[in-house]
Amino acid sequence: MNKAWSHFKTITYHKYLVAKGCFRVGLYWQGIFHDMSKYSPEEFGVGARYYQGNRSPNDAEREVLGYSGAWMHHMGRNKHHYEYWHDYDKQGNMVPVPMPGRYIAEMLMDRIAACKVYEGKKYTNASPLAYYKKGKAVNDIMHDDTRQILERILRMLAEKGEDKTFAYIRQELVMRKRNFLWKKDFHKKGLYKIKK
């Protein structure tokens, strides 16, 4: 029971941090309903069973079973995960598709919150970028446009901080009519370049 309570507190604090970030960029609905599936029996039971407090319980489940059923349930129901954004192309191949800007923004808030929860006082604005680089084998399963935008805003966060990055996200990813920021928009406006 103690692990279940600890897991509940962890995911609720994570949800609170994501909501706080989403509210700052104008994503009120997404902030409120972020990660609600984590309270479902399919995800909460696994989270409580494998709870450790310093990393995702899904990683522990994956080590034991070779896969994480909770993760598969989660990513299939939450549009802020790039793994959700896949479809078949004209040749019948499963391919990544571009994410709308508001979900890229929520994905950033999710990464910030996860780093704050697991790193605690060690967290810096560079933590989400470092975490991303650690698991960067995503080029084949994340659409190139999505990846470039995510990398730009992660770098912006690391270099300019939350206030400037969130103001930029609100203006460019959330408030735009198309709700998606394409590569050409970055190049045309001379906006943030990725350092290799």
In a domain, 174, yes or no: yes
In a domain, 3, yes or no: no
For 78-91, how does the pLDDT look when each residue is reduced to its tens digit (9 = 90+)? 999 999 999 999 99
* Neighbouring-strand partners of residue 94: 88
Task: Output the pTM of the full model.
Answer: 0.87
For 36-76, how does the pLDDT look when each residue is reduced to its tens digit (9 = 90+)? 999 999 999 999 999 998 889 999 999 999 999 999 999 99
Structurally, how many domains does the chain consist of? 1
In a domain, 15, yes or no: no
Q: Residue 111's domain spans which residues?
A: 88-189
In a domain, 54, yes or no: no
